[in-house]
Structure 1
Amino acid sequence: MRAIVLHGVKDLKFHSDYPEPQLQSPTDVKIKVDYCGICGSDLHEYLDGPIFFKNKRNEISNKENIQCMGHEMCGEIVELGAKANPEYKIGQKVVVAPTGTCLDRPRFPDAPNANKQPCNACSEGSYNACDYIGFTGLGFEDGGFGDYCVVGDNHIVPYPSSVIPVDVAALIEPLAVAWHAVRVAKLKEGESALVLGAGPIGLVMILALKAHKAGNIVVSEPAAGRRQLAESFGVQTFDPTNYKSTDQAVTALKKLTNDGFGFHHSFDCSGIPISFEVSLKALRTTGVATNVAIWPEKPVDYFPMEITLHERTINGSMCHTREDFVNVVKAFEAKLVDIDQVRTLITGIVPVEEGIEKGFNELINHKEKHIKILVSPRHAN
């Protein structure tokens, strides 16, 4: 099949004859891919890895680390294993929850670690924080930048294509990331929220917050184009470059809240030291800072009394669970998420043959022009 395959750091190749994945477990499902979005994680793996490809073979699947990439995918079921969930049917439109965890070990009975006990996270139901986490298309098994993909039936989430357009369905995965962050933060209706960064995750965070009926939402973003897009979603924006110091910026941000005391919640979608600092300092007493960004392995300055004096809380939010995908689909059905606003995030659709040059390289070299580029074996602009 056609596929975009990572061979190593800065070594991404298009294959016209990559092996087509086949059902291996009786609970497997084979999907014909419609669209698959290029994620920041894909770019980081390509440019700065290995991150999810550190070992020659995956701890759980035992798959080699030369893989077809892509995890933000939607497609159509074309084959079902003998013991796959009977609710799933050939021709059904689905999205994929791509996390590979200890719960997937039964799919790979021949792997050396097949009988290994689940890690702490998986044994307690928090499998999205698995000690050995990988993703379909990111270290775990072949992903969605190809004609076909095979996953376990517990990773499938059907969606109604009569409600959610097929191209928009590819953004259910990043929306699930934001949905999970709001859930982890325990945001209540009407509470204020500060979003730090208006990249792809920051923008879908706005949509998730609106769907949860957050109150005053402010987005801090230095790039004018991304502030403009955030404003089109009906939120207030803030340019941090107008201020000489972090404290000045924090003071100005607090003035944007209804009572001037600060935000109930902050969501760091940038992952840089200054956004971490602002995410704490801009909170009101008992506010909650939730880190959504994936950070490099570097420390930041942290002053514990910023938390203690005001009884603030720092949360981490790790990717998503299948429940988040289900709830995002329900939110579309209930018209809590605006399809047209989601579609504005799609800034390009390219055929799989051109996915490296017009997808990856375009995002790397012209980041300011794009939010989300979709790769498709079946559709293109």
Structure 2
Amino acid sequence: MKGLVFHGPRDVRYETNVPDPKITSPDDVLVEIAYCGICGTDLKEFFSETPNFFPANAEDRNEITGLKAPLCMGHEMSGTVVEVGKNVNHVKVGDQVVIDPSVHCSDAARFPESQLKKGETCSQCRYGLTNICDHSSIAGLGAHSGGLADKFICSSKHAIVVPKSIPLEIAALTQPLAVSYHAVRRSGFQEGSSALILGAGAIGSAAILCCYGFKASNIVVSEPSEVRREYAKRLGATVFDPSIYSNHENELEFVIRDLRKLSPNGEGFDYAFDCSGFPATFQAAIESTVSNGTIVNVAIWGAKPIEFWPMDITRHEKKIMGSMCYTTEDFEGVLKCFDEGSIDVETTRSFITTVVDLQNGIEGGFQHLNNNKKTEIKVLITPNNHGELEYSKSYTKVFQN
């Protein structure tokens, strides 16, 4: 089969002789890939001399699976089931599915060369918190081959059936949306509540849709980039530019003041989601919420610690929590929102800015996205050249031979 194969740092190749995946376990599901997205993490792995997920040494094996490069990339995928193992009963041949690409220690038994001890399972996985597994990894990012290939194989528990109302190109956006959905779900978001989102990159933009999925009454997004603000506005949010005070000595104080003015009755927001990960955005999240409000850190921070005054939390009984990745429940939640219409399919379609076939995936996918980060949102690769590639008029550019 065809695939985009990671051989080592800065060595990803389009190949036409990748071995076809085969059913080896009674719980396996074989999927023909329709679409697979490229995210910022994929870009970093593709271009970096020192990747974070794939091992820098191509001979190193993944702890859970025991596998090593070469492996196909790609983890944001949708497709159609073409074969199932004899014990699989919740999905069947012909079902359209999305894949939860997380790989955790409870998956180790499926891989004969796993580096984990037989039966070893961390406490988080025992409680169903697979998103914070001690050994967590991701298909298409070093655990095992991913969705930038004609076909993909996994345990059936990682395949979630897509309702027929949802097109497969939209279904391919489920994984990136699931990150934000998990944050909103974890916050305990209540219908009719207000939300502040700090940062309108991919995760922040997805958080807008997910807050609406939870029936938010008012969403404000703080974002310095004009392009991102305009996109957040198109998604239905009220936008604020914090950079207007960038040359003022009381910059943060004025930003917080203006953000609170945009909240209901000027009293603050019920929930704040920091999707940026800077000391200023974290402090703004804390001070822009109501008493008893909830602050969720969704951003991935660098190694340097920051300072904040605990009494900002204690005096007003505010809650701070973290949110990491997603679980299968979040995939199901996103799909339910699509199916019920609380997340609009056509609005979500605006995330897709380029569709490219697999053989053009390096130049028209990875390199194009890397060179056009300010205008591109989501690049999809379609290994099996689905029809949407031919008639897609809404996408910015379509690469096709």
Q: TM-score range by the shorter chain?
A: over 0.9
Instruction: Give aligned-pair identity as a percent.
Output: 42
Q: State the match for 1:50 in structure 2.
A: 51
Q: State the match for 1:346 in structure 2.
A: 352
Q: Distance in 2 between matches of 1:107 and 1:192?
A: 44
Q: State the match for 2:145 in structure 1.
A: 142
- When normalised by structure 2's length, the TM-score is 0.90
Aligned partners of 2:65 and 2:115 also within 8 Å: no
Q: Distance in 2 between matches of 1:178 and 1:68?
A: 26
Q: State the match for 1:268 in structure 2.
A: 274
Picking from 296, 318, 342, the partner of 1:290 is 296
Q: Displacement of 1:10 after TM fit?
A: 3.0
Q: State the match for 1:311 in structure 2.
A: 317
SS at match of 1:362: helix
Aligned partners of 1:60 and 1:114 also within 8 Å: no
SS at match of 2:320: strand
Aligned partners of 1:8 and 1:46 also within 8 Å: no
Aligned partners of 2:195 and 2:220 also within 8 Å: yes
Q: Displacement of 1:116 after TM fit?
A: 4.1
Q: Displacement of 1:212 after TM fit?
A: 0.6
Q: 1:34 to 1:279 in 2, by over 3 A?
A: same
Q: State the match for 2:238 in structure 1.
A: 236
Deviation string, structure 1 residues 129-173 (Cα, Å, up to 9, x no partner): 101111111121110111111111000101123x11111110111
Q: Displacement of 1:52 after TM fit?
A: 1.9
Q: Distance in 2 between matches of 1:298 and 1:6?
A: 31
Picking from 129, 133, 151, the partner of 1:130 is 133
1:279 corresponds to which letter in structure 2? A
**Superposition map of 1:94-109 within 5 A:** 94-109=97-112
Q: State the match for 2:257 in structure 1.
A: 251
SS at match of 2:229: helix
Q: Distance in 1 between matches of 2:47 and 2:278?
A: 18
Deviation string, structure 1 residues 49-88 (Cα, Å, up to 9, x no partner): 422224711111111144211111000111111222x232
Q: State the match for 2:82 in structure 1.
A: 78
2:234 corresponds to which letter in structure 1? S
Aligned partners of 1:349 and 1:374 also within 8 Å: yes
Q: Distance in 2 between matches of 1:212 and 1:306?
A: 27
Deviates more, 1:329-338 or 1:146-155: 329-338
Q: State the match for 2:370 in structure 1.
A: 364
Gaps of 5+ in 1: none
Deviates more, 1:259-268 or 1:28-37: 259-268
Q: State the match for 1:21 in structure 2.
A: 21
Q: State the match for 2:218 in structure 1.
A: 216
Deviation string, structure 1 residues 292-332 (Cα, Å, up to 9, x no partner): 22333333333333322322222111111111111222222
Q: Displacement of 1:290 after TM fit?
A: 0.9
Q: Distance in 2 between matches of 1:298 and 1:360?
A: 30
Q: Distance in 1 between matches of 2:331 and 2:39?
A: 17
Deviates more, 1:298-307 or 1:139-148: 298-307
Q: Distance in 2 between matches of 1:270 and 1:11?
A: 30
RMSD: 1.7
Q: Displacement of 1:182 after TM fit?
A: 0.8
Q: Displacement of 1:190 after TM fit?
A: 1.5
Q: 1:273 to 1:117 in 2, by over 3 A?
A: same
- When normalised by structure 1's length, the TM-score is 0.94
Q: Displacement of 1:267 after TM fit?
A: 1.1
Aligned partners of 2:271 and 2:295 also within 8 Å: yes
Q: Displacement of 1:105 after TM fit?
A: 1.7
1:289 corresponds to which letter in structure 2? I
Aligned partners of 1:70 and 1:136 also within 8 Å: yes
**Superposition map of 1:321-336 within 5 A:** 321-336=327-342
Q: Distance in 2 between matches of 1:169 and 1:218?
A: 26
1:60 corresponds to which letter in structure 2? I
Aligned partners of 1:172 and 1:328 also within 8 Å: yes
Q: Distance in 1 between matches of 2:284 and 2:67?
A: 41
Q: State the match for 1:188 in structure 2.
A: 190
Q: Displacement of 1:241 after TM fit?
A: 0.8
Aligned partners of 2:67 and 2:113 also within 8 Å: no
Q: Distance in 2 between matches of 1:7 and 1:281?
A: 47
Q: State the match for 2:41 in structure 1.
A: 41
Deviates more, 1:215-224 or 1:110-119: 110-119
SS at match of 2:143: strand
Q: State the match for 1:4 in structure 2.
A: 4
Gaps of 5+ in 2: 390-397
Q: Distance in 1 between matches of 2:309 and 2:15?
A: 50
Task: Give the aligned length.
Answer: 379
Q: Distance in 2 between matches of 1:257 and 1:289?
A: 15
Aligned partners of 1:36 and 1:71 also within 8 Å: yes
Q: Distance in 2 between matches of 1:285 and 1:209?
A: 20
2:180 corresponds to which letter in structure 1? A
SS at match of 2:366: helix
SS at match of 1:367: coil
Q: Distance in 2 between matches of 1:268 and 1:44?
A: 22
Q: State the match for 2:361 in structure 1.
A: 355
Deviates more, 1:288-297 or 1:243-252: 288-297
Aligned partners of 1:27 and 1:107 also within 8 Å: no
